[in-house]
A and B are shown apart, each in its own frame.
Chain A
Amino acid sequence: MRYMLATAIIILIIAGGPTLPAQSLAVGSGTKSGSESPTVRHVIGLENISSQKSGKLSVQNGSMLFTGGKDVAMVPVTSIDGIYVGSETTQSGGKVARGVKTAAIAAPYGSGKVLTLLMRTKVDILTISYHGTGGGLHAAIFALPIGQGTDMRAQLIAAGAREGATAGLELKEGKQP
């Protein structure tokens, strides 16, 4: 009886799983118009902004601006000398989805793995390399809704950022970008 109850709860979790990516995509889909700033996830690189922090990325007054609640990071566009756009398939739904997936591991016959199939999403990975005031090389990496990476790159180049070499060529020779 107890086993059946546990199984029923797990099945309910699995059934509810697909709604999570829908919610997270709804946040991202609002940004597809191009005029609004896309909602991005800061992977790493910006000083004083924690890893995996979500926020808005925009180009304003000659600067690339990341705003995540109270945290704001600004990079002057003229200091940007490399913009690379890649893509990655990752899990949608954020921390809630991670919790649900962990709980679903207990589902019988490995049925929890269905969530992995349902909760995957493709994102653009935008990498910006720039030089700080002391000349030090910095890099900031963001995960954006698919298709938004190239838009952001175009916005940055239009604002005066340098695109840099074709991805991989400069560093392949061991030079700084």
Chain B
Amino acid sequence: MKHSRALKVFGFLAMLVSQLAIAQPAVSRQSESKAKPKKLSASAIQIEPIEAGDSSIPPEFRFAIYERLIERVRKDGAFQKVYRSGDQEANNVADLVTLRTKVGKFTEGSQLRRELTTVSGGTTVDVITTVAARDGHVLFESDLSGKVRFFGENLGVTNDLAKRIAKLLRERF
């Protein structure tokens, strides 16, 4: 009686171990595919100006994001050429991709409140970034946000956001 009970427990454990062994590669494969999306290739990118969407983001923030993005993407070297919006030269590039950024939400904080309290007064910009091929086909879309939490002026949020978008492009191309 005792013997058969021990056998049952052993059988149950063996089944459990085998199930885990089967499940393990599937899980790791899944996480691998999540961590490393397929790399895209393009020799040039055109960066479009930031769209305000329904937010009330001031023009200086939109243009600062645009300029910082161009600066960052050029510095990263993920693309041979980085074109500004409206650049005529970009018309001749066959594998050109276009980066569009639309602001979803903008919260303007206060540098004074940030530095006095350290917990409030942060500035945040949430954006939807889309990269499309020349034919308009969307290659990928991503939600990103830039923040300035402690020190620095509100415009510092544009630097943080540009850094995040440039990182995304570096990972995908």
**Which residues of B127-173 are within 8 A (CB) of A?**
153-155
**CA–CA, A91 to B115, complex, Å?**
11
Asked whether B85 lies within 8 Å of A127 as measured between CB atoms, the reply is: no
B116's contact among A116, A132, A177, by CB below 8 Å, is which?
A116
- Binding stretch for chain B, among A4-12, A17-25, A31-39, A81-89: A81-89
Asked whether A172 lies within 8 Å of B87 as measured between CB atoms, the reply is: no
The residues of A that contact B56 with a CB separation of less than 8 Å are 168
Central interface residue in A82, A120, A174, by most chain B CB within 10 Å: A174
Asked whether B59 lies within 8 Å of A127 as measured between CB atoms, the reply is: yes
Per the CB 8 Å criterion, the residue count for chain A at the interface is 33
The residues of A that contact B120 with a CB separation of less than 8 Å are none
Question: A120-B112, A171-B51 are known contacts. Are A45 and B153 too (CB-CB below 8 A)?
Answer: no
Question: A171-B50, A172-B52 are known contacts. Are A88 and B62 too (CB-CB below 8 A)?
Answer: no
Central interface residue in A44, A89, A91, A129, by most chain B CB within 10 Å: A44
**CA–CA, A168 to B115, complex, Å?**
29
- Binding stretch for chain B, among A57-65, A70-78, A135-143, A155-163: A135-143
**CA–CA, A69 to B64, complex, Å?**
24
* Distance in Å: Cβ of B111 to nearest Cβ of chain A: 6
Per the CB 8 Å criterion, the residue count for chain B at the interface is 33
The residues of A that contact B37 with a CB separation of less than 8 Å are none
A91's contact among B67, B87, B89, B153, by CB below 8 Å, is which?
B153
* Distance in Å: Cβ of A92 to nearest Cβ of chain B: 11
* Distance in Å: Cβ of B57 to nearest Cβ of chain A: 8
Contact of A48 with B by CB under 8 A = no
* Distance in Å: Cβ of B142 to nearest Cβ of chain A: 18
Contact of B83 with A by CB under 8 A = yes
Contact of A117 with B by CB under 8 A = yes
**CA–CA, A137 to B115, complex, Å?**
35
What residue of chain A has the Cβ atom nearest to residue B66's Cβ?
Answer: A139
Question: A44-B68, A176-B49 are known contacts. Are A127 and B89 too (CB-CB below 8 A)?
Answer: no
Q: Across chains A and B, which 7 residue pairs bring their CB atoms closest together, nearest first?
A: A136-B84, A139-B63, A136-B87, A84-B59, A116-B115, A172-B52, A137-B85
**A interface list, Cβ under 8 A from B:** 43-45, 82, 84, 86, 88-91, 113, 116-117, 120, 125, 127, 129, 131-132, 134-139, 141, 167-168, 171-172, 174, 176-177
Q: Taking A86-B58, A127-B60, A129-B63 as given, write out 14 further A-B residue pairs in contact, using a Cβ cutoff of 8 Å, ordered by the A residue number.
A: A43-B60, A44-B68, A90-B111, A90-B153, A113-B115, A117-B116, A136-B87, A139-B63, A141-B67, A141-B155, A168-B56, A168-B58, A171-B59, A171-B62
**B interface list, Cβ under 8 A from A:** 49-53, 56-60, 62-64, 66-68, 71, 83-89, 102, 110-112, 115-116, 153-155
Could you list some 16 contacts between A and B, CB below 8 A? A44-B64, A84-B58, A84-B59, A84-B60, A88-B153, A88-B154, A89-B112, A125-B60, A127-B63, A132-B84, A134-B88, A139-B63, A139-B64, A141-B64, A168-B58, A171-B52
